[in-house]
Structure 1
Amino acid sequence: MEHIKAICQSNAISDQNISPLSGGDINDTYKITTSQEAYVIKINQAKRFPKMFELEAKSLEMLAETNSFVIPEVIAHGDFEKYTYLILEFIDSDQPRNPAESFAVALAKLHQNKSDHFGLEFNNYIGRLAQYNLPQKATALEFHIDLRLEPQFKLAHQNGFEFEGLDNFYKNLETIIPEESASLIHGDLWAGNHLFTPTQACIFDPAIGFAPREMDLAMMKLFGGYSPEIFKIYNDIFPLESDWDSRTKLWQLYYILVHLNLFGSSYYGQAKQIISQYQ
């Protein structure tokens, strides 16, 4: 705890009470409480994930600029001795009167931030894996194959997992992926990466990029935790391309491959099943 106290003091946060927070498997995370404020601090070894917290801070600031969701304010980030850290505003959770509407409205507003290209001006992380956003791509098809699927398939191969028929799979995607412009997405929108304040929804731990907006919806459906009402309200506000629900598994493949490369063989069969569905 001494290094955490020293980091806090170097950022003018004094008289602190430090308590561990659960939920992450990559970083050590703590709540810092002072007489006036509360903060979250995330800590890791400086050499382990280069620029992870710098990129997370940049991503949170980009999300905040959309005025869509509540986003934790970035207080500070940097290195201290052998550690790297990120200090954020601590946000208390509560339940608004209409949580489904609050979330759907915010998500639609986020996705209305558009770009002419797919990707981002910097690479980042999804979990502890590198996520590639460069070079930016002109189409959703190129983006999904070159920057999302291919890096994960290559990593899976290195980890001993083989996939057959990918050329035919990629060919079929040409008629499946819609030609919709890129939206700014959260990129890792499972239920553990959001909470509610008394009036609004809040999101954090992003893996942002300008991407097909259906990717966020697919991730929301992958592990559950989101009301069906959210998807209905979202579609009423910001109508999706036709047959969007038929593409959910396709977008989920990226996240399944990420989990395969993070956690191992329990996701292998699911990945192969999705590929066969679109071959």
Structure 2
Amino acid sequence: MTNARCLDAELVRALKEACGLDFSRAGTREIGGGCINRVLELRAGAHTCCLKLNDAGALPMFEAEADGLVALAANGAFRVPRVLTCGATADAAYLLLEYIEMRPLSSAEDGRRFAEALVQLHRDTGENFGWVSDNFVGASAQTNTPHPGWAQFFVRQRLMPQLALARSAGHGATIVRSLDPLLERVPAMFLDYCPRPSLLHGDLWHGNAAMDAEGRPVIFDPAVYRGDRETDLAMCELFGGFPSAFYAAYRTAWPPAEGYELRKTLYNLYHVLNHLNLFGRAYLGQAERMVRSLASELIR
């Protein structure tokens, strides 16, 4: 912990006015925040907080994150960082959160506890797919206009916007050419499968999952909406990092429906396209393989 990099005076004033905490002499430590935000651990007296910073224009992203954290916390299945304040100065947007000492999931017991919490989260269902407001997955806008039909929602508000971004960036004529007819066949995947509108984390890779010091499962950095629970489960498999006991415990408590393996590819295509649009051609080959796999099953 160091005081070497002091916070901007305007930011210190804003934080004090919003939550009564004085960080003018706070100890600060840079902590992992991915490639989107600057993230600091702040320590002032008996208070330790997590401060996320970005350009002032990023305020809607932080507001959406705060909304998602509040929704997840209300469910009660996971420990979720408590939102202390969110706002912007002339130069910076900020999100101040409760600081939680966390560690990665590592043991079978970690996996089992995390799976039990995720099942509880997913059993929180609503009437429509979507959310009360739009938000973000990573730095990408994510539309959430409520819709009663899951297939239509996923095609129109998940895959089509990512496809449009890929097209505008010139990423892969193969993807654009193959995905257009593929999207027309997606509703056929749901003739015998009618998912519930479950409360979702929305961006559940292992980097957004942890255990606290008492062994309670923790989630953060959400892209919350109501959708098919299998989308969260699918992303848990996309980049790995969860103990095998997690998958076994989830499947024992609430097995995926028949046809999950094909839907898993469809659901994870959304996240791979998002990575392609955010980070470039390193994800192009993976996206093309997923599109070919889906086309081989759906277009005959």
Structure 1 length-normalised TM = 0.94
Helix, strand or coil at the partner of 1:174:
helix
1:266 maps to amino acid: A
CA root-mean-square deviation: 1.7
Aligned pairs for 1:1-279 (under 5 A) are 1-3=6-8, 4-10=11-17, 11-14=19-22, 15-47=25-57, 49-94=58-103, 98-134=109-145, 136-161=146-171, 162=173, 163-177=176-190, 178-197=193-212, 198-279=214-295
Q: Deviations along 1:176-214, whole A, 9 cap, x unmatched?
A: 243111111101111111110123110000001101111
Q: Distance in 1 between matches of 2:65 and 2:77?
A: 18
Give aligned pairs, total. Answer: 277
CA shift for structure 1 position 82? 1.8
1:218 maps to amino acid: A
Helix, strand or coil at the partner of 2:188:
coil
Unaligned runs of 5+ in 2: 1-5, 296-300
Alpha carbons 2:59, 2:88 under 8 Å: kept: no
Q: Distance in 2 between matches of 1:188 and 1:83?
A: 25
Q: Distance in 2 between matches of 1:128 and 1:119?
A: 18
Q: 1:129 to 1:222 in 2, by over 3 A?
A: same
Alpha carbons 1:46, 1:82 under 8 Å: kept: yes
CA shift for structure 1 position 50? 4.5
CA shift for structure 1 position 143? 1.1
Unaligned runs of 5+ in 1: none
Q: Distance in 2 between matches of 1:170 and 1:158?
A: 18
CA shift for structure 1 position 277? 1.4
Helix, strand or coil at the partner of 1:176:
helix
1:78 maps to amino acid: G
Helix, strand or coil at the partner of 2:177:
coil
Helix, strand or coil at the partner of 1:98:
helix
Q: 1:199 to 1:2 in 2, by over 3 A?
A: closer
1:147 maps to amino acid: Q
Alpha carbons 1:76, 1:86 under 8 Å: kept: yes
CA shift for structure 1 position 73? 0.4
CA shift for structure 1 position 256? 0.4
Alpha carbons 2:205, 2:239 under 8 Å: kept: yes
Helix, strand or coil at the partner of 2:203:
coil
Alpha carbons 1:118, 1:138 under 8 Å: kept: yes
Q: Distance in 2 between matches of 1:234 and 1:137?
A: 27
Q: 1:43 to 1:180 in 2, by over 3 A?
A: same
Helix, strand or coil at the partner of 2:242:
coil
Alpha carbons 1:40, 1:90 under 8 Å: kept: yes
2:196 maps to amino acid: S
Q: Deviations along 1:45-85, whole A, 9 cap, x unmatched?
A: 112x3411111111100000101110000011111222111
